[in-house]
Structure 1
Amino acid sequence: MSLPLFIGKIIDTAEVPTSENVSIEEVQVLGVSPNVPDLILGLEPYQFYIGLGVLFTVGAVANFGRSYLLRSVGEKLVARLRSRLFSKILAQDSYFFDIGPTKTGMKTGDLISRISSDTQIIAKTLSGNISDGARSLISGLVGLSMMCFVSWKLTLCMSMIFPPLIVMSWFYGRKIKALSRLIQENIGAMSKVTEEKLNGVKTIQAFSQQKMMVHDYNVEIKEIFNNSIREGKLAGIYYGFNGFLGNITMIGLLVVGAKLIGMGELTIGDLSSFMMYAVYTGSSVFGLGNFYTELMKGIGAADRIFELIDYKSNIPIHLGKKVDNLYGDINFQNINFIYPSRKDSTIFRDMNMSIKQGQNVCIVGPSGSGKSTISQLLLRFYDPQSGQVLVNGHNIQDLNLNFYRTKIGYVQQEPLLFSGTIKENILFGKEDATFEEIEQALRLSNSYAFVNNLPQGIETKIGASTSTQLSGGQRQRISLARTLIRRPKILILDEATSALDSISEEIVMRNLSHLNKEEGVTIISIAHRLSTIKNSERIVVLNQEGEIVEDGKFDSLISNPSSEFNKLLQSHSVE
């Protein structure tokens, strides 16, 4: 910021030779002296220029340090923010994904948008934008001070530009904050559509509905485009007005400065210095306006981030007591339950059910009767509106949820296998498992033969990004092995063998029956296939209203022509 002052002093040292055609009075009017001293600011010229070079070098090093330091701090803060946000999302309950802070549910695409796009905007605000804002503020204050030092009259004239700039920036910042948040929400909605359509690309192709899907995607793109255009128009008005105001101010300063030179109150060098300071200060003021604008964008993105971070989970996963002895009876007592996203549909009314330790129970019923909801309540993905779930006499709402879930095995109908090797997927169930334990889990799930027939065995990479594609039955068996390696005493199978062929299913069910009888594992199956149901020692039948209408052994229910179980068979709700 000292450069304009030095330039002005150098200009004033310019030698103007006096002659017969140039009078002393004319030279003085020009603002220079006919007898130029050799010193610049009291220094010899070579000393002055060496000092100036050193000053510029120090300034360059300081600029590097400022940019690097602020970028490092900003990126570290954002990295921690992303990690904290991801951890917070993983700790949320099902209410978060069904309802969430938006009251419409949190979808994967929107969450990805917040973790990636919104945090990137915050990173830009914390690193480059704050750095530029601090530089603009310091440059503006120093420039204003130097302008007052050179000419307080011209500085007073220039200060007239500040009130309209401040008012304009305030209104613009408020508008841009709202627009920025709206655009980020549009990007989140587009990410949701993208994720959904790409996950179902085979279905889309099978129905030849590519044009319809592209149309749906274009609708989301158009929303982003329209709001971005609104932001562009607003920015155009703001910066256009600021540029016009700045140009008028510069012309006005030149006119007033020329008059002051004529009056002998300024030299040409002083006016040159002042105009350069005016340009620096004006740029700093505009930079502060841009800083405020970007800051509002960052605040809009931060609102979406902290909306998730501040969201309180209805079901905390780290609180409660850790109980090792959970190997007892399971009791559902007076359960009333409604899904939070379907408040007009009651699933259970005063439902009571007891499962003895070591029983092999199968829950059957028509679609929508609440079979899977029982497993959701037992795993405490949801809490009932009233009633309680007891395991070995302990209310699961009093237990440390993470610790409690380590005692339960859960296999879904459509299991998720992570990108990586088969071994890594199985070790997801027990990180410190030995090779013998992995082999035993593979044998129990009837996976050992087909895994060993793969080119790389358990080191074979699986997942959407690899060329190795497993069938639905193979995926279910790998998922079952991942669960069995934990040696749970309570095993929940939610249509866990629905994709298996009859021979593989028979082997798996025989192995599970062995665990049930020899090791006392309590098995709760949810099934539609008769071949799965008949392997259970007890059948619980639900009707469409979620009521338990029958409870007994398979042979007694199947032999009774008027039983509700046989009615399910006749209605093809059981295959």
Structure 2
Amino acid sequence: MAGKPITTFCKVFALTSAVCFDLFFFYASGSVLIHGAFGHLGRLWLFAALRWSVITVTALLILGDLKPLRIRFITAHSLLPAVLESGTRALHGEDSQCSQVVDVRCWLMLAGASLGAALFWEITIPDSDEEADSKEQKQKSRVLFMRVLYLYKPDYLLLLGGLVFLSLAVICEMFIPFYIGRVIDILGSHYQQNEFLTALLFMGLYSVGSSVSAGCRGGVLLCAISSFTCRIKVMLFEALTKQEIGFFETIKTGEITSRLSRDTTLTGRTVCLNVNVLLRTFIKTMGMIFLMMNLSWKLTFLVLMETPITGLIQNIYDTHYQRLSQAMQDSMAHTNDAANEVVFGIRVVRSFNAEKHEAERYDDRLMETHTLKTRRDTVRAVYLLARRFTGLGMQVFILYYGRLFIQMGQMTTGNLVSFIIYQSDLGDNIRTLTYIFGDMLNSVMAAGKVFEYLDRKPQVSTDGKLKPDQMNGHIRYRSLNFSYPSNPNKTVLQDFSLELKSGQMTALVGPSGEGKSTCVSLLERLYEPQDGEILLDGEPLKSYDHKYFHKKIAVVSQEPVLFSGSVRDNITYGLPGCSLDEVEEAARKANAHEFIQQLKKGYDTEVGESGSQLSKSERQRIGIARALIRRPKVLILDEITSSLDSESENKIQQALASCPDQTLLVIAHRLKTIEKADQIVVISGGQVKERGTHQELMELKGSYHKLREEVFTEGGAP
């Protein structure tokens, strides 16, 4: 507690001492120029160096350390009078107003300008040793922005065309205020009709040229944006489809669809349009400064003093707006996810009378998004208010000093009008430059998640190259340990070992949730085990070519997923080039040909979204046909007969029996034919508890015998 007053006293003492020394040297340097004690500007720069040395040493002796911002302020404050006098003499051969009357007002004006310069320096070139989290985030945003620009590479010709039209539009637009002032001077002095008509002609030509070029620029850039958006959507969708199943279990659907739809569009439009605005504003700003310098260099320097203040306001705004925008994007993704969950599970919602609960939950999500949006819009409103105040204040100064310059004959009324028009545009342009740079960094935050998904490497590799001409279908689970990514603390399989011999039928039985479906998922390579491996014909599964592997191993699940399209498209899904005869043969084996023929368009009948136009049994048989058309070496049947009648079940069994060299893995609760399986495996607690034929396991009177008595009864439910 005692240290704080001492520190405050030291700071006050250091400030007072520095001000006293600085005022002394300021008046001394003014005396040098007024009384001509020294003959050239070198003496003025000497005093500037002495001012800097004395202030710096005083601050160091009292404070012991100087932050970079203080050093920058001291440097700008000490050198500014020398720079001002040198520039004034070099350009106009005369002394500035402050050199002629050295007083406290000049000192305060220069101190304010120095502080503004130091702040602008701090904003645009921050010290690398003191970068805060927000500055690190901006650096990350710059990297993302460059990646977005690189993705525009195929559209460089369109972007180049947009740049050409942009430059033409800006050049034409810049000269319009100049001719407005010219017309006012012609009307206010001796009227010359030829000069008046010439000025109007040029003003009209520049207006038409600006409008036409701006329209062409907009059309070309919109074409580039559309091309980019389509391309990045395809890239992101392709990257998502390559991810492992665990990725989709940990990432919610609403977030994925938000990135795929909203963020890709936002990335393409905002970045490209911001670059367009940035280049247009920069070129126009440089041109206007040049024209304003010709009209009045003094007023131009006065206008440019607004830049540090604008930069400071913009920096504060960018920091808060960027953080709130990112939070709002995440909240919108969560809101979409909540809506998707309800739409997907509307039957469950209706069954449990949870409509009001879900509506309230959705309302809570929306209110969270609304609160963030309100806070973001409030920050923007305050920023716009501050920006308008600074602009209006600068216009008041311009009008006041402009009147003085007209009275002194340093500029005409038309020149002042042109200058005011330029100043109004220049203020907006400078604010736009500082705003648009920050807004570009804000916009690429939407690209952050897109690039995160694009860069993500699937945890289940698909880089295998093995494609043998012959496959036996011999499968071996060897010492597997596995937990799902969504619940890594729960071990589903533990030291699991099993052998599926080629051409034989193996049935997995056991209570629900004990690891049967997990065995199938691992065999499909939907997941990778944490320990152990699965061998196919003595080779690890990951060594096989991805496309080859999934053609040789097919699975039919209890609830087969159908896609919108025709029956034929669903049977040949992922296997283009199949003939109609092959499709019909697979449908006959699945006992689906007869009901397909009875459909209105046969194999060309649309199945509807997720197969909604078909019954559960019909979807089941199409799913079986989709597996059989591949003529797989390993066929996995996961509770497939739960929706089939006895006749369909018998026909499918006969079809499967016609492929004696096929390795068959069956998961069933009620399938009586597992009694004929070459091997029945009882799984419990993620381990193999019993293994053998039906007769062997029944004689053992263990777990299988108990399941047989409790579950495998006629009409029994699992």
With normalisation by structure 1, the TM-score equals 0.90
Q: Tell me, yes or no, if the aligned pair for 2:180 and 2:203 is still in contact at 8 Å.
A: no
Shift of the alpha carbon at 1:269? 0.1
- For 1:371, the aligned partner's letter is K
- For 1:511, the aligned partner's letter is A
1:251-286 alpha-carbon deviations (Å, 9 max, x no partner): 221111111111111110000000000111122223
Q: Secondary structure at the match of 2:511?
A: coil
1:55-110 alpha-carbon deviations (Å, 9 max, x no partner): 33332232122212222222222221111110000011123224xxxxxx212221
Please name the residue that 1:374 is paired with.
519
Q: Tell me, yes or no, if the aligned pair for 1:540 and 1:548 is still in contact at 8 Å.
A: yes
- For 1:195, the aligned partner's letter is N
Shift of the alpha carbon at 1:386? 1.7
Asked if 1:14 corresponds to 2:187, the answer is: yes
Asked if 1:554 corresponds to 2:694, the answer is: yes
- For 2:669, the aligned partner's letter is H
1:187-230 alpha-carbon deviations (Å, 9 max, x no partner): 21112111111011122112221101111111211111111111
Q: What are the equivalent positions in structure 2 for 1:393-408 lying under 5 Å apart?
A: 393-408=538-553
Shift of the alpha carbon at 1:487? 1.0
Matches of 2:710 and 2:318 in 1, distance apart?
63
Q: Tell me, yes or no, if the aligned pair for 2:510 and 2:707 is still in contact at 8 Å.
A: yes
Asked if 1:477 corresponds to 2:616, the answer is: no
Shift of the alpha carbon at 1:408? 1.0
1:452-494 alpha-carbon deviations (Å, 9 max, x no partner): 122222111112389x621222111111111111111111112
- For 2:605, the aligned partner's letter is T
- For 1:10, the aligned partner's letter is V
C-alpha change, 1:167 and 1:532, in structure 2 (3 Å) is: farther
Asked if 1:487 corresponds to 2:628, the answer is: no
Which structure dedicates a bigger proportion of its chain to helix?
2
Which ranges of structure 2 fall in alignment gaps of 5 or more residues?
1-173
Shift of the alpha carbon at 1:370? 0.8
More displaced 10-residue stretch of structure 1: 86-95 or 267-276: 86-95
Asked if 1:564 corresponds to 2:682, the answer is: no
Alignment partner of 1:227 out of 346, 358, 372: 372
Shift of the alpha carbon at 1:38? 5.1
Q: What are the equivalent positions in structure 2 for 1:206-245 lying under 5 Å apart?
A: 206-245=351-390
Identity of counterpart residues, as a percentage? 32
C-alpha change, 1:119 and 1:2, in structure 2 (3 Å) is: same
Please name the residue that 2:177 is paired with.
4
* Higher relative contact order structure (alpha carbons within 8 Å, sequence separation ≥ 6): 1
C-alpha change, 1:496 and 1:430, in structure 2 (3 Å) is: same
Please name the residue that 1:102 is paired with.
none
- For 1:14, the aligned partner's letter is L
Which ranges of structure 1 fall in alignment gaps of 5 or more residues?
16-32, 99-104
1:9-59 alpha-carbon deviations (Å, 9 max, x no partner): 1110015xxxxxxxxxxxxxxxxx4x445553xxxx545444443333332
1:292-344 alpha-carbon deviations (Å, 9 max, x no partner): 34313312101111111111222222344333433231111111222222222
C-alpha change, 1:363 and 1:94, in structure 2 (3 Å) is: same
Alignment partner of 1:332 out of 477, 481, 501: 477
Shift of the alpha carbon at 1:563? 2.5
- For 1:472, the aligned partner's letter is K
Please name the residue that 1:262 is paired with.
407
C-alpha change, 1:257 and 1:532, in structure 2 (3 Å) is: farther
Please name the residue that 1:23 is paired with.
none
| Stretches (4+) displaced over 6 A | none
Please name the residue that 2:325 is paired with.
180
- CA RMSD across the alignment: 2.0
Please name the residue that 1:97 is paired with.
248
- For 1:469, the aligned partner's letter is Q
- For 2:539, the aligned partner's letter is H
Q: What are the equivalent positions in structure 2 for 1:95-174 lying under 5 Å apart?
A: 95-98=246-249, 105-174=250-319
Please name the residue that 1:447 is paired with.
592
Asked if 1:540 corresponds to 2:662, the answer is: no
Matches of 1:268 and 1:313 in 2, distance apart?
70
Q: Tell me, yes or no, if the aligned pair for 2:481 and 2:494 is still in contact at 8 Å.
A: yes
Q: Tell me, yes or no, if the aligned pair for 2:473 and 2:662 is still in contact at 8 Å.
A: no
Matches of 1:429 and 1:288 in 2, distance apart?
51
Please name the residue that 1:527 is paired with.
668
Q: Tell me, yes or no, if the aligned pair for 2:481 and 2:495 is still in contact at 8 Å.
A: yes
Q: Tell me, yes or no, if the aligned pair for 2:669 and 2:711 is still in contact at 8 Å.
A: no
Please name the residue that 1:65 is paired with.
216
Matches of 1:514 and 1:80 in 2, distance apart?
47
With normalisation by structure 2, the TM-score equals 0.72
Please name the residue that 2:159 is paired with.
none
Shift of the alpha carbon at 1:496? 2.2
- For 2:436, the aligned partner's letter is F
Q: Tell me, yes or no, if the aligned pair for 1:173 and 1:292 is still in contact at 8 Å.
A: no
More displaced 10-residue stretch of structure 1: 479-488 or 529-538: 529-538
Matches of 2:710 and 2:381 in 1, distance apart?
67
Please name the residue that 1:28 is paired with.
none
Alignment partner of 2:452 out of 300, 307, 311: 307
Shift of the alpha carbon at 1:288? 2.6
- For 1:562, the aligned partner's letter is K
- For 2:672, the aligned partner's letter is S
Matches of 1:487 and 1:387 in 2, distance apart?
29
Q: Tell me, yes or no, if the aligned pair for 1:409 and 1:491 is still in contact at 8 Å.
A: yes
Shift of the alpha carbon at 1:133? 2.5
Q: Tell me, yes or no, if the aligned pair for 1:176 and 1:293 is still in contact at 8 Å.
A: no
Matches of 2:429 and 2:464 in 1, distance apart?
52
Q: Tell me, yes or no, if the aligned pair for 2:183 and 2:199 is still in contact at 8 Å.
A: no
Asked if 1:77 corresponds to 2:228, the answer is: yes
Q: What are the equivalent positions in structure 2 for 1:426-445 lying under 5 Å apart?
A: 426-445=571-590
Matches of 2:655 and 2:672 in 1, distance apart?
15
Q: Secondary structure at the match of 2:519?
A: helix
The number of residues matched between the two structures is: 541
Matches of 1:462 and 1:391 in 2, distance apart?
35
Matches of 1:530 and 1:395 in 2, distance apart?
31
Q: Tell me, yes or no, if the aligned pair for 1:70 and 1:126 is still in contact at 8 Å.
A: no
C-alpha change, 1:172 and 1:387, in structure 2 (3 Å) is: same
Please name the residue that 1:411 is paired with.
556
- For 2:702, the aligned partner's letter is S
